[in-house]
């Protein structure tokens, strides 16, 4: 049926294939794993890259090889990475243009590649996925998700890399032996409602959301007593990364000077906030938890007018997300 290796355990976490048939293995964390670390004051950073990122890189590689079919794909070569970023930016309108998105700045995508290809510091967890979501718990080999072929129905996205090509890309870009994590877990916890338990557990701690303007009322929705919001531009955040990074540092210093020692950051700005996490990891005093939750907060907005008014900006992969919100915390729905 598949050629998945038997699960292994690292840091008390099971390890399974990225998808059925992949040689890439990823750690499978529980939400409790992260909540325990926060309770114990063990600082960490979680970042993630999912299906569209591999499409962007693959498109750049195809463009490079179109111009030079003999080019050596050397992810350890800074000059090659520079050329790859230029190609990614040139090719990007074919990927994100339908939604009105523009390419990220050269510096942010170059830093993103540097992050991937570099050895990660302690307690910096890099999460990956070949697909957009996996909304069930993986407890044995039979639960490992199947690969997603985006070139076939219901997606039909011509030019996307095959699952095998994504697996090869991941294997080639990350340092040998690096322990990767499954990135879809935050979306899964959003789908299941476990994400709400997370915020209920830590509602008395400072929680900072860094993202586009639609998330500004998140603290009010959930009644978070120490909520802070740092806005970023919905489509041009990468051009303002220096300013946003400094704002985050300033806020952190303010929180510590006010007597806080433990701060949770939820970052929702894609490559830009991911690079901010890379820059700030181990650079902020106190007990710091920086989580790239991706679209994990979307269930809180699914029934809001803000979702319906800006639907293309949110995507449609999570059509079943809102059911638990209506039953568990209907007060967060803002018509």
DSSP 213-228: GGGTTHHHHHT-TTEE
Per-residue pLDDT reduced to its tens digit, 172-201: 999 999 999 999 999 999 989 999 999 999
Per-residue pLDDT band at 312 (split at 50, 70, 90): low
**pLDDT band of 76, cuts 50, 70, 90:** very high
Q: What is the pLDDT of residue 9?
A: 40
Tell me, what's the pLDDT at 320? 59
Instruction: Write down the pLDDT at residue 302.
Output: 82
User: Are the C-beta atoms of 114 and 173 separated by less than 8 Å?
Assistant: no
pLDDT at 1 over 80: no
Percent of residues, the chain, with pLDDT higher than 90: 71
**223-247: per-residue pLDDT in tens?**
999 999 999 998 889 999 999 999 9
Check residue 319 and give its pLDDT: 60
* Sheet (strand 262-267) strand order: 8-10, 13-17, 25-27, 180-182, 124-128, 44-49, 287-292, 262-267, 207-211, 227-231
- For residue 102, the model assigns a pLDDT of 82
Residues 88 and 59: their CA atoms lie apart, in Å, by 6
Per cent of the chain over pLDDT 70 is: 90
Per-residue tokens: 56: 């962007």
Residue 316 has pLDDT above 80, yes or no: no
User: Whole-angstrom distance between the N-terminal and C-terminal Cα of the chain?
Assistant: 47
Residue 62 has pLDDT above 70, yes or no: yes
Q: What is the pLDDT of residue 132?
A: 86
293 compared with 329, residue with greater pLDDT:
293
């Amino acid at each position: 049926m598949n050629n998945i290796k038997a699960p292994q355990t690292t840091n008390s976490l099971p390890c399974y294939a990225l998808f059925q048939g992949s040689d890439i293995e990823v750690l499978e964390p529980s939400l409790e794993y992260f909540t325990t670390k926060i309770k114990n004051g063990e600082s960490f950073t979680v970042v993630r890259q999912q299906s569209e990122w591999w499409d962007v890189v693959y498109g750049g590689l195809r463009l490079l090889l179109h111009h030079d079919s003999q080019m050596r794909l050397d992810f350890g070569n800074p000059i090659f990475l520079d050329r790859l970023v230029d190609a990614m930016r040139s090719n990007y309108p074919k990927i994100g243009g339908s939604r009105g998105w523009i390419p990220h700045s050269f510096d942010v995508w170059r830093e993103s590649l540097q992050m991937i290809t570099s050895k990660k510091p302690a307690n910096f967890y890099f999460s990956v996925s070949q697909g957009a979501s996996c909304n069930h718990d993986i407890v044995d080999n039979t639960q490992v998700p199947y690969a997603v072929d985006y070139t076939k129905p219901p997606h039909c996205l011509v030019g996307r890399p095959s699952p095998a090509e994504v697996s090869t890309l991941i294997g080639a870009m990350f340092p040998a032996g690096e322990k990767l994590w499954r990135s879809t877990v935050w979306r899964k916890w959003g789908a299941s409602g476990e994400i709400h338990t997370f915020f209920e557990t830590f509602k008395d701690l400072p929680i900072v959301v860094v993202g586009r303007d639609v998330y500004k009322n998140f603290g009010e929705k959930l009644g978070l007593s120490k909520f802070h919001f740092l806005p970023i531009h919905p489509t041009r955040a990468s051009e303002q990364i220096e300013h946003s990074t400094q704002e985050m540092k300033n806020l952190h210093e303010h929180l510590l000077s006010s007597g806080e020692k433990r701060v949770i950051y939820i970052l929702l700005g894609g490559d830009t906030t991911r690079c901010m996490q890379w820059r700030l990891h181990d650079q902020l005093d106190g007990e710091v938890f920086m989580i790239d939750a991706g679209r994990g907060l979307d269930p809180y907005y699914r029934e809001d007018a803000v979702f319906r008014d800006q639907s293309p900006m949110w995507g449609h992969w999570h059509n079943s997300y809102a059911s638990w919100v209506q039953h568990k915390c209907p007060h967060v729905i803002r018509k």
